[in-house]
Amino acid sequence: MDSSSLGLDRRRFVGVFAGLGLAGSALPELLWARAGEGPITRETLAAAETLAGIELTDSERDLALAGLEELRQDYLKLRQVPLDNSVAPALRFDPEIAEALTRLPAPARRPSADRDAALPDDEEAIAFLPAVDLGRHLRARRISSRELTALYLARLKRFDPQLHCVITLTEERALAAAARADAEIERGLWRGPVHGVPWGAKDLLAVRGYPTTWGAAPYRNQVIDEDATVVRRLDDAGAVLVAKLTLGELAWGDVWFGGTTRNPWKLEQGSSGSSAGPAAATAAGLVGFAIGSETWGSIVSPATRCGVTGLRPTFGRVSRHGAMALSWSMDKLGPMGRCVEDCALVFEAIHGADGLDPTAVDRPFAWDAELDLRRLRVGYLRSLFEREPSPEEDEDPARVREAHALDLAALKLLRSLGFELSPVELPDLPVGSLSFILSAEAAAAFSELTLSNRDDELVRQIDQAWPNVLRQARTIPAVEYLQANRVRTLVMRETARAFAEVDVVVAPSFTGDTLLLTNLTGHPAVVVPDGFTGDGTPSSLTFLGRLHGEAETLAVARAYQEATGFHLRHPRLSPGE
């Protein structure tokens, strides 16, 4: 019998050593057959020591064997306890561990001045209006929510065959919500800026009565009998959910069980991920705004690729109740829209604790479009802006150089707007080596998928995809996971010091380890288009904020965005493409 026929038994054996630093994947193939259900011997332990980076004597091995067998039996007993994906470990990540925060009362909301513009005659022009403008037209009853919802549902049906950005239309729910919004607005009950505005949810958010597939074939028929907190809060704000949008399988990439979600600017290119559908649908004018999620770039990357604006809030700022768990210490939910103000107004509707997600906190926030920017201290990551781009950073070196030139032009423009940019540097620690924190937590979140062999149903079966990474992660020692989180504490402390003298930091979106670092520390980010490269696709700039500093970060990003107008450009699609 070869090792591949052992299936679940082999994987069980790998798990025996995960908490000890005794990695099963270091074992020769012969030992899998001997040890899958058999005794743990000196030979199996000696082979496992290689990956653990330790070396025991024979007497030390003999001493360990009985205890290892007891641990194996403990692991097997614990695996019999059903663990839903929603059950978090009894450990809680707190981004504020390294940063003292001043508690300030929330300012009064001051949205941008109503431009009182006429509603466009052309339906396509209406479809591409920012959510903030749609909300104003709805409130003024220049258009009804039912008309707007019908427009977006028609566009979703018309263009999804090209973009592959929709998993499930929520048409019945949407039409009922739109009718309710119209009736409320007609009698003077206005719930806020997104009342009556159609939106799309990344399909890792539970919606009662509809499948929640997580983009993965093993879960394509899964129905979770509740609404995620974000969905409920947007319902309360009067927004209209029209579709559950694609995500890469289990929140990685843009490939899901129905295909690859496409970039509306370049259909032969994927939309990036994992918030692939929210980015593509927003960019293509198929929804007024969308909700995505980020663990390590899943808002920033597709927002960049598709040329939309994205807000990754501070960790814990938005409840994740009812959302798929990938990494309990890194997952974040945030809005994706056509402009910064869209993201601000949606964030205002969804932020805050709910008593259901233990990491969710209440901190004051109100969008202030008239915030005095002169009082804000803005820094920039000088070493990353000054660094010459390396061809190894991207499969398209010319694009890397073009994006770098756009980033430098953005700095020049910010200075012309009156910002005195101070040089800032983030911690010089091996941040890239902390990425296995995510892998370990994901392997725990989807342990049953791996142990049951149902990971074979996932589309992507390559080195850099979940099936392989989740298996590998079962060999991560518990000691090394904890040590990595101790280094993470140092990163958090040093990042807090870097932000001590500034309120907002301007950064290239993908240069260096900034994206991973700030996801590990829990800092917020706003990503906006900063131009277009030679192939006609967008590039982006990132604005990083202090913990819970979304208001200031959004304000600076909006000042840049309003001065450029890149967000006003949109792709042109034809149904026959």
The reported pLDDT for the residue numbered 26 is 36
C-alpha torsion angle, residues 493, 494, 500, 503 (rounded to 10): -100
Is position 298 annotated as part of the catalytic site? yes
* C-alpha 145, offset from chain centre: 29
| Residue 14, pLDDT score | 38
Position of tokens 């079962």?
A: 474
Find where tokens 């012309």 sit.
416
Catalytic residue among 298, 301, 509, 540: 298
**Full set of structural domains in the chain with CATH:** 1-81 (no CATH), 96-110+117-360+371-429+484-568 (3.90.1300.10)
The answer to whether 202 is a known catalytic residue is yes
Give the model's pLDDT for residue 100.
Answer: 60
Q: How far apart are CA 150 and CA 570, in angstroms?
A: 21
Tokens of 475: 């060999």
Residues above pLDDT 90, as percent of the chain: 74
From the candidates 202, 271, 332, 447, give the one annotated as an active-site residue.
202
- Give tens-digit pLDDT for 297-330: 999 999 999 999 999 999 999 999 999 999 999 9
pLDDT of residue 394: 61
pLDDT digit string, tens, across residues 176-235: 999 999 999 999 999 999 999 999 999 999 999 999 999 999 999 999 999 999 999 999
Nearest 5°: phi and psi at 204?
-110, 5
pLDDT-wise least confident of 24-38, 118-132, 265-279, 479-493: 24-38
Six token digits for residue 95: 């981004």
pLDDT score at 391: 58
Q: Is the dihedral of CA 443, 449, 454, 459 positive or negative?
A: negative
Please identify which of the residues 144, 145, 272, 274 carries the catalytic annotation.
Answer: 274
Cβ count within 10 A of residue 144: 18
For residue 48 the two structure tokens come to: 């496992």
Q: What is the pTM of this model?
A: 0.89
Quote the pLDDT of residue 101.
61
Share of the chain above pLDDT 70, in %: 90
What rounded mean pLDDT belongs to the chain?
A: 89
Helices vs strands, H then E, count in the chain: 20, 15
